Amino acid sequence: MSFLRFQLVPWLAFPSAGFGAQSRNPLCPNSVVVNGQQIDVPASTVLLAGGFYRFVPSECGLRLEAIDTPPDRPPLPSGPLVDCVFPIHCRDECEWIFDRVLIYPLVVGGTRVEWNLHPRFSDPGPYIFQLQYSPTGTQEADDWESVGLPSVNSYYAYDDVQRLYGKSNWVHYRVTASTPLGIYVSKPQRATGVLRFRDWMLAREILRMERLRLRLAAGQEGYILKAKNFGEVHEPCVDSITDEVTNSTCNTCYGTGFVGGYFEPTECSYAELPPTSSHVQLDATRGTVDDEIRVAARMLAIPRLMEGDVWIDRDTDHRWAVHSITNLVEMRGVPLISSVELRLIPFSNVIYQFAIPNQIPV
């Protein structure tokens, strides 16, 4: 028995209601076509709006009859991001489920986070939401921590803890939604305030067009390695008095002083690199000099980069250290596109020993 999954609003209840089902035989059909796929009746079953239904012939027509969950329904896979879109390279799974996440930040604590689900998200309830915080802000990071207790069928949560100190804003939030059918995770969002709906739509379109331009024409695909600046200290490489890193060649902390060195790489991070140049010269005071190569790369401001992070060119495996960052495009203070100064890391550096999963196609 085959099953089809529809992401529809709950009131779509019949084939003629607008989801592309039509009879093959207008007289006495024994099958229907749903979204281009033939379905035999009455044996076939579809999953519609969170429940199972069966097509049943009735007076040379068709009707939907609700039934219990079939006993041979395949089990749900375990883990996050369950029951989502088909996996496509460089496309976020479940990205459509959370329509928008709004963050109203307060520096001293009391930040309010609101969220909306897409109107066509039709999993059965209850919905259990959990707010999470991370200073790194990438989906692959392992430093996400829950904020407060889970809430049921809610649309907002508060973070009463002060997260910001100094002058750098590294606060990111995301929301997880658990339903009887799966667990869904929103995109990480930086706590830079709330855009009005019109500005938010414009910003989203700017990001979409820039991402498309980088992916199809001007950009080079790569990975972002977010450096760890907290966590388990690798004591053999750190001075116990000054906390200064004393070994930059260690393949355990990769010169960061923290075990692991970097979080898991973020894929599909594009950068527009200008042509590079290099010159080897003889300096009277410095000897033979081959100064490091520097470029100003145009990149999306999501995720937020910080000095010490690394961008890896997927095709050449060249690894670039992130230095200064200048925002080129902002929408009411929210950065969208940045110019990032990248410096090529010498090929003898230990960072080239950091393995990137599936970098070379199998």
Q: Classify residue 62: in a domain, yes or no.
A: yes
Which residue(s) pair with 81 in the sheet?
none
Q: Classify residue 144: in a domain, yes or no.
A: yes
Question: How long is the chain?
Answer: 362
Q: Classify residue 87: in a domain, yes or no.
A: no
Q: Classify residue 251: in a domain, yes or no.
A: no
Q: Per-residue b/e over 187-220, b at no fewer than 16 CB within 10 Å?
A: bbbbbbebbeeeebeebeeebeebbeebeeeebb
Residues 49 and 126 in one domain: no
Q: Classify residue 186: in a domain, yes or no.
A: yes
Please name the residue that has the structure tokens 């076509």.
Answer: 33
> pLDDT value at position 271?
93
For residue 67, give every residue at least 6 positions away whose Cβ sits within 8 Å of its Cβ, in sequence order, or none. 45, 52, 53, 54
Residues 218 and 337 in one domain: yes
The amino acid present at 234, given as its one-letter code, is: H
> pLDDT value at position 80?
36
> pLDDT value at position 312?
93
Residues 184 and 267 in one domain: no
Q: Give the range of the structural domain holding residue 127, as residue numbers without chain letter.
A: 98-190
Q: Classify residue 236: in a domain, yes or no.
A: no
Q: Classify residue 234: in a domain, yes or no.
A: no
> pLDDT value at position 213?
92
Residues 61 and 134 in one domain: no
Please say whether the beta carbons of 289 and 334 come within 8 A: no
> pLDDT value at position 279?
65
Please name the residue that has the structure tokens 């907002």.
Answer: 156
The amino acid present at 16, given as its one-letter code, is: S
Q: Rounded CA gap, 159 and 148, in Å?
A: 7
Mean pLDDT, consecutive 10-residue segments, the chain of 362 residues? 34 32 39 45 41 50 51 37 41 70 87 87 87 87 89 90 84 90 86 84 89 89 88 86 87 89 88 79 63 86 87 91 91 89 91 85 59
Residues 102 and 172 in one domain: yes
Closest by CA position to 248, among listed 150, 344, 350, 107: 350
Confirm whether pTM is higher than 0.85: no
Residues 313 and 218 in one domain: yes
Residues 106 and 186 in one domain: yes
CATH number for the domain harbouring residue 329: 2.40.10
Please say whether the beta carbons of 223 and 314 come within 8 A: yes
> pLDDT value at position 20?
35
Residues 26 and 104 in one domain: no
The SS3 call for residue 271 is strand
> pLDDT value at position 55?
52
Residues 44 and 167 in one domain: no
- Strand 5-6 vs strand 45-48: parallel, antiparallel, or unpaired? parallel
Please name the residue that has the structure tokens 């706590």.
Answer: 191
Q: Classify residue 143: in a domain, yes or no.
A: yes
Tokens of 206: 């700017």
Please say whether the beta carbons of 237 and 250 come within 8 A: yes
Please say whether the beta carbons of 207 and 329 come within 8 A: no
Residues 333 and 221 in one domain: yes
Number of domains in the chain: 3
Residues 177 and 219 in one domain: no
Closest by CA position to 297, among listed 326, 333, 317: 326
CATH number for the domain harbouring residue 140: 2.60.40.10
Residues 55 and 102 in one domain: no
Q: Rounded CA gap, 48 and 14, in Å?
A: 10
